[in-house]
A and B are shown apart, each in its own frame.
Chain A
Amino acid sequence: MEQTSGNPHIHRDDEASKIGMWLFIFTEMLLFGGLFIVYSIYRYLHPVAFELAADELDVLVGTANTVILLVSSMTIAMSVTAMQKGNKKLTLALLGATLFLALAFLVNKYFEWGSKISYGLYPGSERLHEFGHGDTLFFGLYYFMTGLHALHIIIGVVIISAVMYRVHKEMVHPTKYALLENTGLYWHLVDLIWIFLFPLFYLVT
């Protein structure tokens, strides 16, 4: 990290960083909130098309990804507890598990999108055009919202890797682990957004 030119001592306030993180999570929720508004308006305008389009999605893959994210939320929460207990090895193992699950989610997503695309269901495709406006909007929202969510997962992967490195180097340790806690909060947010996306796209038919 770059050093500050000037400030000889950076003042440390874990409570402040936690409030900051909560505020950031709040803005993220509003970001997705805008999309949920768009979703509900178009669903209201095209109820039948949205129902039929939702049938095209693979509930099994969606459920698998939901389970994966829920478990990963658990592992990262446990890593914070392990850190509080001073168990560095276990912390790293649990963070590693979270990382693995995040990657599994992305692999799943890759195959899911791939099969949709090979079937000709992607923005601007001939097939969607034949299906009509409702389906076009449904799949437009599907790719945009799950894509934005997947982007958050990728960012999470980068952050978790960075935290693992810092735990390994003991820059994050049992008396200074606000970074780990905030990463956990971020990951729960990613999980939470998925909990809304999953029923809206896969289950509500």
Chain B
Amino acid sequence: MSENPTRSIEPSYLKYKGRYGGIFAWIFSTDHKRIGLLYLWSIMTFFIVGAILGLLMKMELISPGKNIMGPQTYNGFFTLHGIIMIFLIVIPGLPAVFGNFFLPIMIGAKDVAFPRLNLTSWWLYMFGALVVLTSQFTGGGPPDTGWTFYAPYSFQTPTNMLPAVTGAFILGFSSILTGLNFIVTIHRMRAPGMGWFKMPLFPWSLYATGWIQLIATPIVGVTLLMIIAERTLNIGFFDPSLGGDPILYQHLFWIYSHPAVYIMILPAMGAISEIIPTFARKTIFGYKAIIASTVAIAFVGYFVWGHHMFTSGMSGVALYTFSILTFLVAIPSAIKVFNWVSTMHKASINLQTPFYWAVSFIFVFMIGGFSGLVLGALATNVHLHDTHFVVAHFHFIVFGGTGFAFLGAMHYWFPKVFGRKYDAGWANIGWLTFFIGFITLYGPMFYLGIAGMPRRYYDYVEVFHGGNIISSFGSIILIAGIAIVITNLVKSAISGEKADQNPWGGITLEWKVPSPPPLENFDEIPHVTRGPYDYS
């Protein structure tokens, strides 16, 4: 598309003057791009808090015995670390930041279907976050149940559970509204000519994610309400002394929380599917297979929640049904990996930072996925349940999967979002430090788990000392990597070199608007005639 001279007159979304000035021009803006950035800044702030909590826990574990905190503080730390990382960061994660910013642009629309609802989602998110955080400073002290709020402890502990659970409920509501908004946007606002199979893969992944958000979140919402009622009114849903069944809580919780893993990982896979063809400068291999596997993951992902409960007590039939379904869900994930690798095959690859993040994503995601099969198998699960192996698997998938894809997407779309280039040298150093730190931190946990080290304890016996030293050392490298990446991005966003409209030679629609995009994205809604990755 040729440069349109009238374009330069349109102010970018960062610059235009609205009704309000200063910070109000952001927090009351219904522009999807500004809302995306609101989420970006909020998520980044919470992430720094959550990462520091993680670092402090690793410092506690650097040697046996009490180093910097006692058991109760440690319990509070892993609970808050989990709540922040799960509910405030990876669940909103890519959809809230990049979905908001790029979904409308990539499908050729001026905004999402319900801009005001979109802003409401962000406000609900901030409100929920505030409610969650008040639990730390009021009442009976920081919650200590872990992010899963397992019954019956969650209504027996004297710590301040109510705000934590209420906040999680509000955050769930925010997530539902975002999903709803995206689904309607995709149904109603695709540019003329953009049929379902001309839609890029990131919007596709947001579509599947939206459905998971809609279908799974209400169940955990009502479950959290039940916990609230249990604590305040003594109702007895999950209290054995009143006839309730705590295992039922676990079922209801995981019916949501397993699909929630796909809320985190599907958009990550979507972003990777954008990055790889752009830097391979080649059509993505098996476009429709990737879509089919996205939908298959979203669907099968509903029926595997029991794999979190193999040791909780279930019938034999339930056990092996959940186990085999868990194995099945690995197939579509593997299909995607084959597709990405085949896309790179015989391509003349443009080696840039986003591409490094994308390939390292595939690497850590595969380790996370394979270790998931180890946990999904009934016999090994009994041995590994509630050990550090689970912690390692979980972080490889959720932090490795979502985190690497998020930062890959961040570097990939950085020039578009801020209209500036990041410093490539520091970006690569940051990526390498992050990657080494990540492997050093979480790799030894597989070994520690197999050796039998349980999770969620501030202390351990001497046998586990060696692995923990390496792991804690890795956490320092990882924090250094995070610091380099964030500092570099923030600095470049403020004073980086000006970026072109299309620095990577991408061909999806976001590369056909100026960097940064103007308020309404397009002067004229584009008419789509070619496939999204048609490099021919």
Distance A141 CA – B187 CA, assembled complex (angstroms): 38
Distance A142 CA – B494 CA, assembled complex (angstroms): 57
The segment from A15-23, A51-59, A88-96, A155-163 that touches chain B is A15-23
Given contacts A19-B188, A23-B184, A23-B214, contact A133 B243 (CB under 8 A): yes
Verify B215–A30 contact, CB threshold 8 A: yes
Interface residue ranges of B210-264 to A (CB < 8 Å): 214-215, 217-219, 221-223, 225-226, 229, 233-237, 242-245, 248, 252
Interface residue ranges of B108-152 to A (CB < 8 Å): 110-111, 113-117
Q: Which residue of A lies closest to B229 (CB)?
A: A144
Would you give the shortest CB distance from B305 to chain A, in whole angstroms?
13
Verify A144–B235 contact, CB threshold 8 A: yes
The segment from A1-9, A65-73, A74-82, A190-198 that touches chain B is A1-9
Counting CB contacts under 8 A, is B346 at the interface? no
Partner of B18 from A5, A38, A148 at Cβ < 8 Å: A5
Verify A136–B113 contact, CB threshold 8 A: no
Verify A136–B236 contact, CB threshold 8 A: yes
- Residues of chain B lying within 8 A (CB to CB) of residue A33: 218-219
Q: Tally of A-B residue pairs with Cβ under 8 A? A: 132
Distance A99 CA – B354 CA, assembled complex (angstroms): 57
Would you give the shortest CB distance from A143 to chain B, in whole angstroms?
7
Partner of A7 from B215, B248, B519 at Cβ < 8 Å: B519
Verify B116–A4 contact, CB threshold 8 A: yes
Counting CB contacts under 8 A, is A11 at the interface? yes
Verify A5–B25 contact, CB threshold 8 A: yes
Number of interface residues of B (CB under 8 A): 51
Instruction: Give the dominant DSSP class at B's interface.
Output: helix
- Residues of chain A lying within 8 A (CB to CB) of residue B189: 16
Distance A13 CA – B188 CA, assembled complex (angstroms): 9
Counting CB contacts under 8 A, is A140 at the interface? yes
Verify A15–B242 contact, CB threshold 8 A: no
- Residues of chain B lying within 8 A (CB to CB) of residue A10: 115-116
Verify B219–A30 contact, CB threshold 8 A: yes
The segment from B26-34, B90-98, B313-321 that touches chain A is B26-34
Q: Which residue of B lies closest to A24 (CB)?
A: B180
Distance A200 CA – B235 CA, assembled complex (angstroms): 19
- Residues of chain A lying within 8 A (CB to CB) of residue B114: 16-17, 20
Verify B113–A7 contact, CB threshold 8 A: no
Q: Which residue of A lies closest to B13 (CB)?
A: A6
Counting CB contacts under 8 A, is A115 at the interface? no
Verify B236–A140 contact, CB threshold 8 A: yes
- Residues of chain B lying within 8 A (CB to CB) of residue A38: 226, 237, 248, 252
Verify A27–B18 contact, CB threshold 8 A: no
Verify B24–A5 contact, CB threshold 8 A: yes
- Residues of chain B lying within 8 A (CB to CB) of residue A41: 245, 248
Given contacts A5-B29, A143-B235, contact A20 B113 (CB under 8 A): yes
Would you give the shortest CB distance from A149 to chain B, in whole angstroms?
12
Starting from the known contacts A19-B184, A123-B233, A144-B229, 16 additional A-B residue pairs (CB-CB under 8 Å) come to A5-B24, A6-B519, A15-B188, A30-B214, A30-B215, A31-B218, A34-B252, A38-B226, A38-B248, A123-B236, A124-B234, A133-B242, A137-B236, A140-B242, A141-B237, A144-B226
B interface residues (Cβ-Cβ under 8 A, vs A): 13, 16, 18-20, 24-25, 28-31, 34, 110-111, 113-117, 176, 180-181, 183-184, 187-189, 214-215, 217-219, 221-223, 225-226, 229, 233-237, 242-245, 248, 252, 519-520
A interface residues (Cβ-Cβ under 8 A, vs B): 1-7, 10-11, 13, 15-17, 19-20, 23-24, 26-28, 30-35, 37-38, 41-42, 46, 123-124, 132-134, 136-137, 140-141, 143-144, 148
4 nearest CB pairs, A to B = A133-B243, A5-B18, A140-B235, A124-B234
